[in-house]
Amino acid sequence: MAGEGLFFAGTVLKNNRNLLEEEATRQQLDMQREELELKKQAAADKRKDARSKGQKANLQDYSLDGINPLFVSDFQSNVAGYQDFANNNAMSIFDGDTGLKNEQSSQERDLSALSNNYISLSSDITSLDSLVKNNKGGQLKLAENGEYLYVHNMSKIGEVTQGENAISMSEALELYPIDAQSMINKTEWADPTKALFDADDSDDNRKVVSNDGEYNYTEIEPQKMADTQTAITNSLKVNSQGFHNDTNYKRLYDTKLLTIDGNEMTAKEAFFLEAYIDPETEQKGGITGSDSLLEMLDPESKLFKKEVSNAYAEYLGKKISEEGYENRGRKQGGKFVGETSAEKKARETEEAQLEYNTDTERIISSTKTGNEALTGYQTYYNHPKLSKDLTKGIKTDSPLSAILGGNSAEAIAFKKVAQDMMKDATTMEFDVISVTLDGNGLPVALIQIPGNPNSKAFIPYSRLSSKTIEMLGDDVKQLVNYKKPVVKFDPNSHSND
């Protein structure tokens, strides 16, 4: 029995130990489970807090500094659209939606580009305003109503981007550009050699005069043509510093086209085809399609060779001269009567002027002067044969004291507008738009305040500069050289009363 008691007690102790271990294990598991739940809750709380913050989008700031008021409304509208998109999709963007995040980045790039564009255009507007304010807007384009074109276009942009049928600002800028480069009158490029050939052809002092006993003939002196060709060739040559002294001749050097055997090609290609001499084989011409050879003519290339470039300039100078003089050969003049071509030209000019004077006097005697130009000064401005409009771009400096009819209301108003622009200056640059005759038969010039088509006045033609006079055509010169014909007394026409 004693042994049985001990066995039972040992069994109980063993079972108790097992129960304790099991309880400890359960407690440990519970602790671990509780710790895991706490960690999960903390993570959930952290995510909840982050998502709560994600409701507010991370937005870029966009300033209106430097943007002209013309663009402010459109720019603010674009910024507002971007902010609405970002705020409405903030939580999805925070949670990692790649598509929405990329869209936000795209909108931010577009807004940055739009801001830069509007700031650039605003700077252009400021620069254009400054030119006009300082009376330096002579080269700016004008609208049909006489306004500066950029001012007119800004007004149109304001109109078409408002109202029911409004168009976008980008569409409006396409229709009505206001960038500085688009507002400047650009002179079309002219081949500089043409003026040389024209001068040679018109210079009677450098003409060879001959006759066959019946007709006179004139032609340009061979030496004069040689001198002109040399001048062209020298201008085509690259200088010792590796560039052309005249960019107009660089353009000819790089882009001149020639027709060889009916085929049009660049002058550089024609040079290698016709004139280049290979230093190794001494073969002349016959070379086509070699880019490495063409690089010998490019001063910016490492393969550039000055001696080859000079040979090309000689070749091209000759080709240009041949073209320039092609239709300027020996010309038949009038019948030979011992009169030189210069004398003949002077005589014909004088005869044409006398005929013009007679016709003009006939018109003046049957026509009244008027104030059609609204300057307060009486002229024949309304008569098409006694008034000549000038090409755009002719200007003159004149003091206000030269204004004709200065006491008229129109002249006084003109002077006031001009004085406001002149500030402390004594003279001002005006646009010369027409010449005509006044009631005394004297030539006068109609001037206009730049950019103000409603402000006009007349000044004596004699106040124009010699440079302006040189720009006039022959028909205008006849007008300003008008003199009342002298009526010679004919004794046979006198009758006794």
In a domain, 343, yes or no: no
In a domain, 489, yes or no: no
Query: Are residues 158 and 46 part of one domain?
Result: no
Which of 351, 271, 348, 279 lies closest to 311 in space, CA to CA?
271
In a domain, 269, yes or no: yes
In a domain, 245, yes or no: yes
Q: Decide: 344 and 334 in contact? Cβ < 8 Å.
A: yes
- Given CA atoms 174, 176, 177, 182 in this order, what sign does their dihedral have? positive
Cα–Cα dist 256/248, whole Å: 11
**Tell me, what's the pLDDT at 153?**
95
Query: Are residues 425 and 395 part of one domain?
Result: yes
Query: Are residues 146 and 44 part of one domain?
Result: no
Per-residue pLDDT of the chain (497 residues; tens, 9 = 90+): 445 554 445 555 555 555 565 555 556 656 665 666 676 566 455 545 555 554 667 888 888 998 999 999 999 999 999 999 988 998 888 888 899 999 999 999 999 999 999 999 999 999 999 888 888 888 888 998 889 999 999 999 999 999 889 999 999 999 999 998 888 887 677 899 999 998 888 876 666 666 666 776 778 888 888 999 999 999 999 998 999 999 899 999 999 999 988 889 999 999 998 988 888 777 787 776 566 788 899 999 999 999 999 999 999 999 999 999 888 877 766 666 666 667 778 888 888 888 888 898 888 888 899 988 899 999 999 888 888 888 777 888 888 888 998 889 999 999 999 988 887 787 888 988 889 999 888 999 999 998 888 899 999 988 887 666 666 666 788 888 888 887 654 555 444 44
pTM: 0.37
Query: Are residues 197 and 312 part of one domain?
Result: yes
Q: Decide: 440 and 369 in contact? Cβ < 8 Å.
A: no
Q: Which domain holds residue 153?
A: 69-183
Domain boundary residue among 268, 299, 324? 324
The total of structural domains in the chain comes to: 4
Query: Are residues 179 and 196 part of one domain?
Result: no
In a domain, 341, yes or no: no
What is the 3-class SS of 398-436, one letter each residue? Answer: EEHHHCCCCCCHHHHHHHHHHHHHHCCCCEEEEEEEEEE
Say how many CA atoms lie within 13 Å of 326 toward its Cβ.
Answer: 7
In a domain, 64, yes or no: no
Query: Are residues 259 and 175 part of one domain?
Result: no
Residue bearing tokens 């400890």 = 24
Query: Are residues 302 and 230 part of one domain?
Result: yes
Query: Are residues 201 and 178 part of one domain?
Result: no
Domain boundary residue among 183, 212, 230? 183
Query: Are residues 466 and 390 part of one domain?
Result: yes
Query: Are residues 234 and 165 part of one domain?
Result: no
What's the token pair of residue 381? 């401005």
> Which three-class secondary structure state does DSSP give residue 399?
strand
Q: Decide: 325 and 225 in contact? Cβ < 8 Å.
A: yes
In a domain, 204, yes or no: yes
Q: Decide: 421 and 428 in contact? Cβ < 8 Å.
A: yes
Cα–Cα dist 56/296, whole Å: 64
Residue bearing tokens 């008027």 = 370
In a domain, 376, yes or no: yes
**Tell me, what's the pLDDT at 8?**
47
Query: Are residues 387 and 370 part of one domain?
Result: yes
Domain boundary residue among 183, 206, 240? 183
Which of 484, 179, 429, 193 lies closest to 318 in space, CA to CA?
193
